[in-house]
Amino acid sequence: MNKTLTSLVKSSGCAAKLPAKELEAVLASLPKADDPLLVGGYESNDDALAYRLGDGRLLLQTVDFFPPMFDDPYVFGQVAAANALSDVYAMGGKPAICMNIVCFPSCLPIGDLQKILQGGQSKVAECGAVIAGGHTISDPTPKYGLSVTGFVDEDKLWKNDSAQAGDLLVLTKSIGVGILMTALKAKAADEKYTNVALKQMTTLNKYAQEAVLPYEVHSATDITGFSLLGHSSEMALASGVQIILDAEAIPVLDGTAEYAIQGYNPGGLYHNRDYIHERVTLASELAQQMDDILYCPETSGGLLLSMEATAAKAFSKASGYPIIGRVEAPIEDRTLITVN
């Protein structure tokens, strides 16, 4: 019997990230980069490194890879590439050059590797960038992703530390991917739900970014492995603000609540809750499954945009992307996120 991609992994997609609490402790022990050309590194948990080129432009650099959540190697390649490219879009930039990162086991047919790379290539070509090489190693657990270099004018850079009191928050994709993928791995997920999730994961954030360019964006990030609450809290902490989310306005993938009730929650969900729960205040009437979904790791998730209120309303009306919350001045206790 031939082995499948997902049979070789314990966790998949962005749910395979190290627990944020442990990672934060390690990063805090490292010296901060001291370079006047460096506009942003990991200190504020921004999505990509930003480095001045001296001509008014910034070079954006990011890297992302993970184990598969689908057995179809071409689809896995597409999702992994879309996820990696997203970090550049979340900084307001345009991807230009990519390199493949591959870990591949000897027990799988080499044709699967070809299909993974073809899937990644399809998304890189769709965004107008090029793949120029990469690196491969033999590994018992398959993994794929990209190193991505992009560019943006410095005055058009988006960072996660610029949300302002009075802003409204727009989210461009639904949440709940990690729960659906856990149900899929257990062969308990309905295809009608996972197909919708797949379409979302393979949709480039290029289109949401291009749609919002005519409007003023104060701050941005993308929602990936650390969940909506995790990435929102990073924005709140970096910006020195409090974020208020409206649970009823947050788009959730169909089927997610049902599978959360049944217990198909990925391990990353509990790591995220452990990392951020002390800085989150949840409404007492919030259903447990919604609590779980808010901490759910996302793969190739949407952009979270903090925008001036008038611009946010106009953008939401024109695009159909929902306004899910607002930004307020900080309060004295440790609360960064309140969910009503």
* Neighbour tally for 128: CB within 10 Å: 10
Residue 44: per-residue pLDDT: 62
* Domain identity same for 280 and 334: yes
Is 289 within the bounds of a domain?
Answer: yes
Residue 22: per-residue pLDDT: 79
Is 255 within the bounds of a domain?
Answer: yes
Where among 104, 131, 156 does a domain terminate? 156
Q: Is the pLDDT of residue 80 over 60?
A: yes
Is 163 within the bounds of a domain?
Answer: no
* Domain identity same for 147 and 205: no
How far is residue 325 from each of residues 69, 113, 161, 164, 222, measured CA to CA in Å? 30, 42, 17, 13, 16
The pairing of beta strand 143-153 with beta strand 57-66: antiparallel
Where among 93, 122, 156 does a domain terminate? 156
Q: What tokens appear for 174 in the block?
A: 């639904």
Of residues 332 and 133, the one with the higher pLDDT is: 133
* Domain identity same for 121 and 246: no
pLDDT tens digits, one per residue of 140-184: 999 999 999 999 999 999 999 999 999 999 999 999 999 999 999
* Domain identity same for 124 and 266: no
Is 161 within the bounds of a domain?
Answer: no
Is 195 within the bounds of a domain?
Answer: yes
Q: CA-to-CA distance for 44 and 114, rounded, in angstroms? A: 37
Domain membership of residue 233 as a residue range: 168-339
* Domain identity same for 141 and 247: no
* Domain identity same for 127 and 257: no
Domain count, the chain: 2
The pLDDT > 90 percentage for the chain reads: 79
The pairing of beta strand 143-153 with beta strand 49-52: unpaired
- Strand extents, DSSP E, 4-56: 38-40, 49-52
Q: Is the pLDDT of residue 1 over 60?
A: no
Sign, CA dihedral 290-291-292-293, equals positive
Is 162 within the bounds of a domain?
Answer: no
* Domain identity same for 216 and 320: yes
Q: Is the pLDDT of residue 14 over 70?
A: no
Output the domain CATH number for residue 25: 3.30.1330.10
Output the domain CATH number for residue 251: 3.90.650.10
* Domain identity same for 208 and 314: yes
pLDDT tens digits, one per residue of 283-331: 888 999 999 999 999 999 999 999 999 999 999 999 999 999 999 999 8
Residue 41: per-residue pLDDT: 61
Q: What tokens appear for 30 in the block?
A: 């490292």
Per the CB < 8 A criterion, the answer to whether 69 and 11 are in contact is no
For residue 265, give the nearest of 183, 157, 154 by alpha carbon.
183
* Domain identity same for 135 and 270: no
Of residues 219 and 11, the one with the higher pLDDT is: 219
* Domain identity same for 103 and 18: yes
* Domain identity same for 145 and 206: no
Where among 94, 121, 156 does a domain terminate? 156
* Domain identity same for 190 and 217: yes
Is 59 within the bounds of a domain?
Answer: yes
Check if 98 is active-site. Answer: no
Residue 70: per-residue pLDDT: 87
Is 287 within the bounds of a domain?
Answer: yes
Residue 300: per-residue pLDDT: 95
